[in-house]
Amino acid sequence: MAKTADKRMIFLDTQVFEQLRHNYSHHKLKVMAELAAEGHIVIILTTVTVGEIESHIDEKVRAACSHLKKCIDEHTILQCVKTSLLANSPKQLSAAIRGELHQNFQEFCKAANVRVVSSEGVNMESILKSYFQYEQPFGEARNKEGFPDAIAGATLEQWAEREKQQVEVVTANRKHWQPICERSEWLRYAGDLANVLESLQDKTTVIRLRESVSKQLSLFIPDISSAFSDLTFCAVYQDLHTPGYLEDVIVDEVAVLEWHITSVRSSQATLDFRCKISFHAEAYFEDPNSGMWDSEDHQWLCREHKSGSINGEDCFSCEITITFDKDNPEAINVCSVTFDSPMVIGVDASEIV
């Protein structure tokens, strides 16, 4: 890992954890925690950011448990089993899952020695002035959802100025955070987490490995295609308002849009790839125009299932683990390709053939 004379102060925005689905054992967060524990960086959060992260966990879990309850109500056979997942009431299940995710977040903060900066004493008058003057993160629509970022930005500015420390803001939410950083003497917009992780690796190794991988990008395409086809796909049929799934997914084309080296240890490295993938598949879904509504049990009965072929194209991220020869970096071996699974795909039912 790279060593620096001065520790870099790195703020992780809520969006970072959202993008990683609050998976605190994710490779990127584990690398950040290791770098912080080894003393190379200091990870900073604000009290507003912590509150927002915990609130988002609660909202997502409640929504998921609500969908699970609906599924159990609609499929009465699930009411006959006593698995640990289904035995609890939705409220008990929600509380247990939220408790576990909150604990995972707290354990990450502890392992990474996260420094939480208090938002107490932030100049709210200045934030409200930005709101009424249509400045980001509020914009012309005066979006009130921009308040957490505005308060977090003011908190970081206040702390950084007091400590005389530059703070790198890690987030893919450029629209909100780049203007905040441009108005500040102490904050620097650093982009997404993959970009920052690459900058924390040994520079000589990164330069050599980048040159080698760039020459051999086609080497990764077959493994990316195979890993993508093996995923479990949940389909959301937007205009039918009904869930479904995809099978027999076949990749037609993979275009690498950007990639970063997120960790290097000895002769092994992890790469973060963002690709545009075109594919075709068989789509299966419940026909919303069929079945009978049971008003007593609040469920659909005798619904028909339909299927058809679709063509899809979207951008996806994956992590690729490789081994390489330090003396001959062009000797690359792909060890694994990992996508998030299950993959949720939005489908326009009108395009189903």
Summarize pLDDT for 214-228 with one digit per residue, the tens: 999 999 999 999 999
Taking only the tens place, the pLDDT of each residue in 316-328 is 999 999 999 878 8
Strand ranges for the chain from DSSP E: 8-12, 41-46, 115-117, 167-170, 187-191, 233-237, 242-265, 268-286, 292-294, 299-301, 305-325, 328-338, 343-347
Taking only the tens place, the pLDDT of each residue in 114-171 is 999 999 888 888 888 877 887 777 777 777 878 889 899 999 999 999 999 999 999 9
CA torsion sign for 241, 21, 344, 291 is negative
Taking only the tens place, the pLDDT of each residue in 285-313 is 777 677 787 777 666 677 777 788 888 89
Q: How many CA atoms lie within 13 A of 115 on its CB side?
A: 17
* pLDDT recorded at residue 9: 97
Taking only the tens place, the pLDDT of each residue in 246-274 is 889 999 999 999 999 999 998 999 999 99
- For the beta sheet containing 41-46, the strands, ordered from the edge strand earlier in sequence to the opposite edge, are 115-117, 41-46, 8-12, 167-170, 187-191
CA distance 27 to 322: 14
* pLDDT recorded at residue 211: 93
Give pTM, 2 decimals: 0.83
Q: Which of the residue ranges 88-92, 151-155, 210-214, 334-338 would you say has the lowest mean pLDDT?
A: 88-92
CATH 3.40.50.1010 domain span(s) along the chain: 8-198
Given a cut of 90, whether residue 278 has pLDDT beyond it is: yes
Assign domain 8-198 to a CATH class.
Answer: alpha beta
Give the pair of three-digit tokens for residue 54.
């915990």
* pLDDT recorded at residue 27: 93
Name the one residue in this structure whose structure tokens are 């205009």: 239
* pLDDT recorded at residue 342: 67
CATH 3.10.450 domain span(s) along the chain: 203-351
* Helices then strands, each counted (H, E), the chain: 11, 13
Determine what percent of the chain is predicted with pLDDT higher than 70.
87
* pLDDT recorded at residue 184: 92
Assign a CATH topology to domain 203-351. Nuclear Transport Factor 2; Chain: A, (3.10.450)
- Average pLDDT of the chain is 86
* pLDDT recorded at residue 122: 86
Given a cut of 60, whether residue 3 has pLDDT beyond it is: no
